[in-house]
Amino acid sequence: MSNLIVNENRLWDDLMVTAEFGAKDGGVCRLTLGPEDKAVRDWFSGQCNALGLEMAVDEVGNMFALRKGRSDLPPIAMGSHLDTQPTGGRFDGILGVLAGLEVIRVLEDAGYVTEAPLMLVNWTNEEGSRFNPSMLGSGVYCGVHERSYADARQDEGGETFGDALEAIGYRGDRPAGSVELGAMFELHIEQGPILEAEGASIGIVQGVQGCRWYEVVLTGNSAHTGSTPMGMRQDALVAASHLVVAVQAMALAEEDAVGSVGFMEVLPNSTNVIPGVVRLNVDLRHPKDAVLDRMEASLQETVASLGVTAKITPISRTDAVEFDTECITSVRHAVSRLNMSARDIVSGAGHDAQHLAGHVPTTMIFVPSTNGLSHNPAEYTAPAECANGAQVLLEAVLDYDRRMSDPVSAP
């Protein structure tokens, strides 16, 4: 067990300093590859430089700051992303990068050198709000997307990802995927209400939910609300309402499932016209793909039974991801040593770690989000909660380093 303690104030100061890059309405608007993203990258690069880390940037702008270890094992990575949503908060993404920075500072201060090198990472365009899709930098790194695909993505104004990357000077010379990693630990805010509700300090993340989106178009008959008797109607909104209630019921029927209709459009949407068409999107998530298969079958059955013409089209699918058991074990060891309250949790949101999990041993650590808020200027995680996360990150990385470099004598 280390006696290394992260500096809560130093970490909080970094969070508050970086929140000025794109500060807006108490939160942050720091869109990928914009001037604020360049500014925070430059700041990050300066901090790494001051710590003597060796910075490599790959061809899609992912930043890798290396701290040498005693051996030349593949580096253990910490990090997340520096970009935000347009109405983002001060913690989403950047906490995972700054906590890694804090871990390295603590190690520097103590003169502690790990067996494996450590790598501090900033993944480009996690949010996907300027350039769709999200998790683009880690996706190219892991071979999920081609670099040419990334380069051609356009923002609303028609500027490409490639041009924007070059404009801010972050087109690096390292081919994507050529920077070797041995493991990945991503600290992140929960972005949900579970840890706060249960009074847990740490979420030991088991994986990422599978997520399936469907577009449903229901077509009834548009008619006059006054002159069309109840028995002669084909009301698309009544059908849609039964579907919304059924989606809730099918999620409640499976442990750990969530099911939602977040988007709905009613046509013609006039008070005295029976809705003729409703378009809506269904969002189903579960940690197990097999359960999602079952929910999908139930959804298909419900949609077919609504009594109006119904068309259902899958529009997006992300399979469930299970994180690495050794990485999770190191987080459990850390939590246990620190005697922190923790619970197992599955991520409901997408993260770069999701791509990384198919590439190297990977896991995540969650800290509470006040009121479950995220993608919102009011997003908040208290200084002590952030420090808890950084401390667990430190202990987990050291535990993993010890166990992986010397599997025999490790606990």
Decide: is 85 part of the binding site for a second copy (CB under 8 A). Answer: no
The Cα–Cα gap between 73 and 88 comes to 37
Q: Which of 102, 186, 190, 296 binds a second copy (CB under 8 A)?
A: 190
Decide: is 73 part of the binding site for a second copy (CB under 8 A). Answer: no
The answer to whether 400 touches 183, Cβ cutoff 8 Å, is yes
Decide: is 206 part of the binding site for a second copy (CB under 8 A). Answer: no
Containing H/E element for 244?
helix 236-252
CB of 145 to a second copy, least distance (A): 20
What is the maximum span of the chain, computed from C-alpha positions, in angstroms? 83
Q: Which two tokens mark 240?
A: 């849609």
Decide: is 179 part of the binding site for a second copy (CB under 8 A). Answer: no
The Cα–Cα gap between 42 and 264 comes to 42
Decide: is 408 part of the binding site for a second copy (CB under 8 A). Answer: no
Decide whether 178 or 270 has the Cβ nearer to a second copy.
270
The answer to whether 314 touches 218, Cβ cutoff 8 Å, is no
Stretch 342-361: interaction string toward a second copy, x if CB under 8 A: -----xxxx-----------
Residue 180's CB is within 10 A of a number of other CB atoms, namely 14
CA-based torsion, 395, 388, 44, 49: positive or negative: negative
DSSP annotation of 74 reads: P
Q: Which range binds a second copy by CB under 8 A, 76-84, 113-121, 168-176, 236-244?
A: 236-244
CB of 189 to a second copy, least distance (A): 10
What are the start-end ranges of the E strands in 81-165?
118-122
CB of 318 to a second copy, least distance (A): 10
Q: Which two tokens mark 46?
A: 């300066």
Q: Which of 144, 264, 338, 410 binds a second copy (CB under 8 A)?
A: 264
Decide: is 186 part of the binding site for a second copy (CB under 8 A). Answer: no
CB of 209 to a second copy, least distance (A): 6
Site size for a second copy (CB under 8 A): 57
CA 113 distance to own-chain centroid: 30
DSSP annotation of 157 reads: T
The Cα–Cα gap between 222 and 285 comes to 33
Q: Which two tokens mark 338?
A: 């620190």
CB of 80 to a second copy, least distance (A): 16
Among positions 360-399, residues that touch a second copy (CB under 8 A) are 372-375
Q: Which of 245, 304, 378, 384 binds a second copy (CB under 8 A)?
A: 245
Binding site for a second copy (CB under 8 A): 190-194, 197, 209, 211, 213, 223-230, 232, 235, 237-238, 240-242, 244-245, 248, 251-252, 257-266, 269-275, 281, 283, 285, 347-350, 372-375
